[in-house]
Amino acid sequence: MISRDDELRHWPADESQARAVQDRLRRHVRLDEPGPEPGFEGTVVGVDVAYDDARDVVAAAAVALDARTLAVVDEATAVGQVSFPYVPGLLAFREIPTVLDALAGLTRTPDLVVCDGYGLAHPRRFGLASHLGVLTGLPTIGVAKNPFTFRYEPPGPDRGATSPLLDGAEEVGRALRTQKGVKPVFVSVGHRVGLDRACAHTLHLAAAYRLPETTRAADSLCRRALAST
């Protein structure tokens, strides 16, 4: 069992400590659960952050949607100081403390969390979605706007088409076409969700636009929270 409070109290101060944390926590990622079925009865929560680099401030938003209708049913924000430098592959250490505060502000427990970022599709197989999942115990997936350092063949042009996101021969996620003729998004599992269902959830959540409604709602809310500080 991971103690979120202990992890936050001993937050890493530099790159070597952060990589050691990733190595230690990565073994707790659960890949043997399929996760909730798409369109389940419950809440799916999107999380996102926005930065004010001049003030070293980060604002996080958590927006809960009805998993069937995609109507917003709850939301919360948190604002904090950035406590870790910008290092590719270690961005979770800049975001997670404030994201956890935003999640704690919700009035209901999420059944699924969708992160604007990566899970296993990460050089160390431990992106934001995996890190957040391990600390909270919640099912999590990552839906990113670009493929990071990995390669893929463009999926077919129709909505729902997929292709593997590859690191060598290893499939670390999938490129998913959420709208016909629109650039794909890049889906990876975080914790306690299988890749097939992660893609199905993403497609359900992206009913009208390229990005899932969870990401769109959380992005808008965290920007408003940042602007109001």
- Residue tagged 């109290």 (tokens): 9
- Domain ranges in the chain are 4-227
Q: What confidence score (pLDDT) does residue 1 get?
A: 55
Q: Largest Cα–Cα distance in the chain?
A: 47
pLDDT along the chain (229 residues), means of 10: 74 94 96 92 97 95 97 97 92 95 96 97 96 97 96 97 97 98 97 98 97 98 95
Query: Please, is 154 exposed, middle or buried when counting C-beta atoms within 10 Å of its C-beta (0-12, 13-18, 19+)?
Result: exposed
The neighbouring-strand residues paired with 47 are 62, 115
Q: What confidence score (pLDDT) does residue 111 get?
A: 97
* pTM for this entry: 0.95
CB 57 within 8 A of CB 81: yes
DSSP conformation letters of 7-38: HHHT--SSHHHHHHHHHHHHTT---S---SPT
Helices (H) and strands (E) counted in the chain, each on its own, are: 6, 8
For residue 98, which phi and psi values (nearest 5 degrees)?
Answer: -75, -35
Q: Indicate the DSSP class of residue 172.
A: E
How many CB atoms within 10 Å of residue 228? 9
Q: What confidence score (pLDDT) does residue 2 get?
A: 74
The neighbouring-strand residues paired with 185 are 176
- How far from each other are the two terminal CA atoms of the chain, in whole angstroms? 35
Query: Please, is 146 exposed, middle or buried when counting C-beta atoms within 10 Å of its C-beta (0-12, 13-18, 19+)?
Result: exposed
Which parts are annotated binding residues?
A: 48, 116
Beta-carbon contacts of 202 under 8 Å, excluding residues fewer than 6 positions away, are 114, 141, 143, 176, 178, 185, 187, 212
Write the CATH number of the domain with boundaries 4-227: 3.30.2170.10
Which parts are annotated binding residues for Mg(2+)?
A: 48, 116
- Residue tagged 């956890």 (tokens): 100
How far, rounded to the nearest angstrom, does the alpha carbon of residue 152 sit from its chain's CA centroid?
20
Q: What is the rounded CA–CA span in Å between residue 15 and residue 87? A: 8
